Amino acid sequence: MLDTHYKNWLKAIKHKIKVTQLKAAVSVNTQLLELYWDLGKDIAQKQKEANWGDAVLEQLSLDLKLAFPNIKGFSRRNLYAIKQWYNFYEKHSAIVPQAVAQIPWGHNRLIISKIKNTEEALFYCSATLHNGWSREQLEIAIKNNYFENKGKAITNFTNVLPAEQSQLAIETLKNPYNLDFLGLEDDALEKEVEDAMMQHLTRFLIELGKGFAFVGRQYSIAVSQNEYFIDLLFYHLQLRCYVAIELKSGKFKPEYVGKLNFYLSAIDNQIKHKDDQPSIGLILCKHKDKIEAEYALRDIQKPIGISEYHLTQALPKQLKNQLPTVAEIEAQLQKSEKK
């Protein structure tokens, strides 16, 4: 039987191999993008100097594929994308920007196809690295306007948290949260929203952002002789603190802050480890008045944020009129079943 010493040694070797594989993959990707950068630069310069049109890309594609039959990426379409990609970033840097070079080519193509300015594009490159987004997750983040919404929650973090913790906490929260993946109508009640969140927990965690670990739903906490229930409780691995979320299906009310402040005091006293940072609260509501929210947080000593959530994407009126109602869909299904 293999002893524990060998097993630990084997585990260490496996870890080294995985780290080496990851470094090799990153290195290969960086080298590929450096090649694409030089290729895009050459194409752009030659077309400008010789006044060649995009038709030259077809010939270049044929010649490169003939010379390098085992290398993918030399299709006319990809060569055109390489030129676009170079032109997009060339004013920002003489060489391929560091964050751009560290994400896969597919992610790069997605970003330049959806984003129109380099500041926002570079933000998504860095966010992809930081969050470890797949291409699908990146596309969801862009669709949900992550760039516009990040750090937009109303909070009191700068007043009650140390500077470093405060900045990270502000960047962690956003406004609004897009929950259209829950498949609910705007008039859904709190329990319906909470039930749907549990059914789509993985997607909800993606919407919350990197670092959130789910702890419990309707998390019970006893104070004196009474039992209270926190709607959703998470632990944030980077902030190193608990995050309590209170879900409200209507408009924000100032009294919600007092209730969440009470919950945070109980969490910090009963659950928080001595090495944890102060627990943070987030009120998720359908609507809020900015001035009311700021007033409600002004003298609160526990760190609390207030954000809105959206259940459905707004549709143009003319499109809404063309869509069938639920009753019409059900009637059509019944006809189909009879047939």
Task: Supply the pLDDT for residue 236.
Answer: 94
In terms of C-beta density within 10 A (0-12 exposed, 13-18 middle, 19 or more buried), how is residue 133 classed?
buried
272 contact partners, CB below 8 Å, separation of at least 6: 241, 242, 278, 279
171 contact partners, CB below 8 Å, separation of at least 6: 150, 151
Residue 308 has pLDDT above 90, yes or no: yes
Tokens of 135: 């291409």
> What are the tens digits of pLDDT across the range 258-282?
999 999 999 999 999 999 999 999 9
Task: Supply the pLDDT for residue 115.
Answer: 93
Confidence of residue 317 (pLDDT cuts 50, 70, 90): very low
Whole-number Å distance between alpha carbons of 75 and 64: 9
Task: Supply the pLDDT for residue 187.
Answer: 83
Q: What percent of the chain has pLDDT over 90?
A: 42
Tokens of 166: 């405060």
- Are 127 and 133 spatial neighbours (Cβ–Cβ below 8 Å)? yes
Rounded mean pLDDT of 153-180? 89
> What are the tens digits of pLDDT across the range 108-127?
999 999 999 999 999 999 88
Residue 221 has pLDDT above 90, yes or no: yes
Confidence of residue 68 (pLDDT cuts 50, 70, 90): confident
Least confident interval from 49-53, 85-89, 288-292:
49-53
Whole-number Å distance between alpha carbons of 148 and 207: 14
Question: Cα 318 to the chain's mean position, in Å?
Answer: 31
Highest mean pLDDT among 151-155, 160-164, 291-295, 313-317: 291-295
Q: What percent of the chain has pLDDT over 70?
A: 86
Confidence of residue 11 (pLDDT cuts 50, 70, 90): confident
- Stronger pLDDT, 154 or 20, i.e. the higher one: 154
* Pick from 180, 158, 98, 151: nearest CA to 297: 158
Half-sphere CA count of 176, side-chain side, radius 13 A: 15
- Are 115 and 128 spatial neighbours (Cβ–Cβ below 8 Å)? no
Question: Mean pLDDT across the chain, nearest whole number?
Answer: 85
Rounded mean pLDDT of 285-294? 91
- Are 205 and 140 spatial neighbours (Cβ–Cβ below 8 Å)? no
Which domains does the chain possess?
18-143 (no CATH), 149-310 (3.40.1350.10)
What are the CA-CA distances from residue 161 to residues 150, 166, 279 (Å)? 19, 5, 10
- Are 100 and 128 spatial neighbours (Cβ–Cβ below 8 Å)? no
- Are 57 and 84 spatial neighbours (Cβ–Cβ below 8 Å)? no
Can you say whether the dihedral through the CA atoms of 161, 166, 170, 173 is positive or negative? Answer: negative
